[in-house]
Amino acid sequence: MGEFELIRNYFAAAPCAQPGEGVALGIGDDCALLSLKAGEQLAVSTDTLVAGVHFPEVCDPFLLGQRALGVSASDLAAMGASPLAFTLALTLPAVSATWLEAFARGLNAMAQQCSLRLVGGDTTRGPLSLTVTVFGAVPVGQALTRAGARPGDLLCVGGTLGDGAGALPFVLNQRSAEASTTQALLARYWSPLPQLALGQALQGKATSALDISDGLLADCGHIALASGVGLRVERDKVPMSDALLALFNPDEALNAALSGGDDYRLAFTLPASCLAELIDAGWSIHVIGQVVEGQGVVLVDGLGHDVTPSTRGYQHFRETR
């Protein structure tokens, strides 16, 4: 099967690749054309996932398709952008119709959930890797960024943390447990649902935001640096799921929530005056600390003592996941 036949059979014909709002021209030409409404800016983000680094060499291609797009679309959520479209650059060691059919179904399933349309990409031969570029629209001046946090703001997250990291030992077959007890964690790892609606709800309210991919403490460090402030995280307020706490001891669970990564929840800073309105609207928001004068991120216990761990999250080229 040649490159163009592969694209036609498994991607161009997918429901997510059909024309839709915001896409003036999709797959089939040298470039896609996207349409923006007056007063909007284009938000663009690219992620590369490499076999053996971001996912196991051998895994379910349907789940991989979901994960590849989900983790990329989370960047749109972090900016408060409305999803428009995405491209896929797929490098394959060999062509397998069974693998491609399952991968395309998983990709399409996540695309439908995120309201994203496939508008192009590339296919090449080589070690398995996926590069996804997502496009979204955001009103001019309303994009959420990492800069803007102010002393006195609340530090918040959009849900429980640690499930993605907690799933990893089971994904890598390093630990085993009854399927019924690991299902919730594995779903968070393989099918991360970007908090797109929450990101849009935070427009005009949050002073800074990002999505948690490399670990809460590490990623909060990006907000602190970009905003020129300090962040004080209260250890006892970090939310964790019942599923995580049932499978790991308290120290292991907390480490996963603080430094494990793969959460794809939003972390953001918020004036205290905006919290009640968001809570009343039904958003699951957890206040875990505050913005302070200074720099960097500090984790404190219930007595206010500094208990910041030396390992704060994952970094490429310094360690292996």
- Domain ranges within the chain, ordered by starting residue: 3-139, 154-300
Cα 121 to Cα 26, 100, 102, distances in angstroms: 10, 15, 18
Q: Which among 87, 257, 228 has a CA at the least distance from the CA of 167?
A: 257
150: pLDDT confidence band, cut at 50, 70 and 90?
A: very high
Range from 55-59, 158-162, 186-190 carrying the lowest mean pLDDT: 55-59
154-300 is classed CATH 3.90.650.10: yes
pLDDT at 313: 62
pLDDT of residue 7: 77
pLDDT at residue number 4: 72
What's the average model confidence in pLDDT over 116-124?
94
What average pLDDT does the segment 93-119 reach? 95
Q: In the β-sheet with 154-157, what is the strand arrangement from edge to edge? A: 208-211, 266-270, 154-157, 286-292, 230-234, 296-300
Give the range among 7-16, 90-99, 224-233, 266-275 with minimum mean pLDDT.
7-16
Of 281, 298, 292, nearest in space to 227 by CA: 292
Q: What pairing do the DSSP bridges indicate for beta strands 286-292 and 230-234?
A: antiparallel
Q: Does 317 score more than 50 pLDDT?
A: no
pLDDT of residue 310: 81
Task: Supply angle C-alpha 288, 293, 298, rounded to 5.
Answer: 45
What is the separation, in whole angstroms, between the first and last Cα of the chain? 34
pLDDT digits (tens, 9 = 90+) for 182-221: 999 999 999 999 999 999 999 999 999 999 999 999 999 9
Mean pLDDT of the 237-247 span: 97
Reply yes or no on whether the pLDDT at 121 is more than 80. yes
Percent of the chain topping pLDDT 70:
96
pLDDT range class, residue 1, cuts 50, 70, 90: low
Q: What tokens appear for 203 in the block?
A: 């427009």
Q: Is the predicted pLDDT of residue 318 greater than 70, yes or no?
A: no
Q: Residue 144: pLDDT above 70?
A: yes
DSSP 27: B
DSSP lists the bridge partners of residue 122 as 89
Instruction: Please compute the mean of the pLDDT values over residues 279-286 and round it to a whole number.
Output: 96
pLDDT at position 316 over 60: no
Residue type at position 276: A
Confidence band for 11, pLDDT divided at 50, 70 and 90: confident
CATH fold for domain 3-139? 60s Ribosomal Protein L30; Chain: A; (3.30.1330)
Global model pTM greater than 0.95: no
Rounded to an integer, the average pLDDT of 149-166 is 98
Instruction: Fill in the DSSP letter of residue 143.
Output: -
Query: Average per-residue pLDDT in the chain?
Result: 93
